[in-house]
Structure 1
Amino acid sequence: MKPLIFGETTRVPDVRTLYDMREVIADKQWLKTAENFELYYMYRELARSKEELELMQEFGLRYDITVIPPAKLGKEYIKTAGHYHPKIPKADISYSEIYQVLEGSAVYILQKAGGGLKIADVIAVEAQKGDIVFIPPDYGHITINRSEKVLKMANWVSRDFSSLYEPVRQFGGGAYFLLEEGFVRNPNYCFVPEIRRLEPKGAELLGLSKGEDMYELVENLQALRFLKEPESLTCMFETAYC
């Protein structure tokens, strides 16, 4: 994949390959003979100008873009590896994140661990171009591209942590796999609830109009302070996902 030019910044992507994700692939029979190939591309810390990049760094935030071409992983639609976020220092709540679909469409699977081998909640959000999706505190998440078009999505996130992949990897994937026949529970969890299917509600909660580019929040980074202090805006997440 070529470098991405974004304003005055140029970034070479971090690349996720099939073999990087072998533990979380549903179709193990297909995986036995599958050759390694590139699945998706992550362009981190983008900004239109040096001044905006410095502003983001000062505020402790990062803007990234991920590109996921259409593909099938055996019977499963292409997806991200899936991860959780760590707890905020001196708090009993994890960091949050927001995504926006720039091109194509996405299915976001959000899951909340319930302790042990149990999952307490699973949410599926189908998002189209321009939609914004919140990742609430304490929820892991996986992005799926089940379309025949390239999915390009952006995210705003705190720059103060590294994502946790092991909580998903140790169970062989998320609570559900999206296969050709639909959602299928991952049998490695002892309890997984029914999926709650919800609509994306992010734009209005951020004060944006539907379809408006959320990068423009660089002009008002205070609107994104919940990414570093999610406990201050729990009502926002309740509004989005109750």
Structure 2
Amino acid sequence: MYSWDGPLPEAHVRTVADMAGVLAAPDAAGEDPGRPLYFMYRDLAKTPDDHSWLASHALRYDMTVIPAGHVGPEFVKTKGHFHPANPAGTGYPEVYEVLAGKAHFLLQTRDASDVVLVEAVAGDVVVIPPGYGHVTINPGAEALALANIVSTAFESDYTQYVAMRGAAYYEMADGSLVRNPRYSKAALVRLVVPAPVPEFCTAHGTPLSSLVGHESCLRYLNSPEEYAPEFTGCLRDLAVRTVCARTP
């Protein structure tokens, strides 16, 4: 599948019903509740040695496939989650690679005082900095395939996205961004593109799978407190996007 040539386990599937609590139009969940929205393949490795190395470094390599389409008025997206802080008090980061298609990563702080839309295409590598929750959206006409590497030292926290019925903004199928009214003080969306981070060995066209076995490239995923300057530069601003003021 895509650029993956290793063993592939059965997918974990998120359906429309699973996503009902975070949709712009919750009633859309009743139209086809069993419809699969995206597929998650977790704990992958091309070889037993790769799997052993990842496990010994408390890391996991995953893939996600998000078919093109929409649910009600918005593009298909992931549920959204935050990462907790590590023992040093810094939030765990994550890194993604776009394998195929086009991705919008919608990042936000817990209070939505900073909201970021990362536009990425096949070959791009995107670092999710500490302290940011994230939703991944497929705004394209073809399936979006992603790889990611993340620490296994924590469980993702979905509670805020469920409590607030989604992220601070919804991306509609017409391309507009609509503010979620439950976030009364959400910042305007910053439009950014991925920036290479040499210290993390991330750059356009560098597969995440090639970093397995290179501790210096992936150490930041469990020890982010050591890399504050690098996280500051991992995304490059383009502009502040004016967003639609209407509510869903």
TM-score above 0.5: yes
> Residue 117 of structure 2 corresponds to which residue in structure 1?
124
Residues 46-87 of structure 1, C-alpha deviations (whole Å, 9 max, x = no match): 111001100110111110000011111011000000000011
Displacement of 1:30 in angstroms is 3.1
Return the match for 1:160 from 144, 147, 153. Answer: 153
Return the match for 1:147 from 126, 140, 161. Answer: 140
SS at match of 2:110: strand
Displacement of 1:4 in angstroms is 9.8
Distance 1:26 1:105, change over 3 A: same
Distance 1:5 1:234, change over 3 A: closer
Distance 1:67 1:7, change over 3 A: same
> Residue 29 of structure 2 corresponds to which residue in structure 1?
31
Structure 1: gaps of 5 or more residues: none
> Residue 101 of structure 1 corresponds to which residue in structure 2?
98
Contact 2:98/2:145, CA 8 A, preserved across alignment: yes
The 5 Å alignment of 1:1-242 reads 6-89=4-87, 91-114=88-111, 119-181=112-174, 182-202=176-196, 204=198, 206-241=200-235
Contact 2:2/2:99, CA 8 A, preserved across alignment: no
TM-score, normalization: structure 2? 0.89
Displacement of 1:29 in angstroms is 4.0
Displacement of 1:175 in angstroms is 0.6
Distance 1:24 1:209, change over 3 A: closer
Distance 1:46 1:97, change over 3 A: same
Q: Within 2, Cα distance between the matches of 1:237 and 1:5?
A: 27
Residues 182-210 of structure 1, C-alpha deviations (whole Å, 9 max, x = no match): 11110011210000111111464533552
**Percentage of pairs with the same residue:** 36
Displacement of 1:212 in angstroms is 2.0
CA RMSD of superposed structures (Å): 1.9
Q: How many residue pairs were aligned?
A: 235
Deviates more, 1:24-33 or 1:93-102: 24-33
Contact 1:69/1:149, CA 8 A, preserved across alignment: yes
Counterpart of 2:98, as a letter, is V
Distance 1:205 1:176, change over 3 A: farther
TM-score, normalization: structure 1? 0.91
Deviates more, 1:134-143 or 1:20-29: 20-29
Counterpart of 1:106, as a letter, is A
Contact 2:3/2:99, CA 8 A, preserved across alignment: no
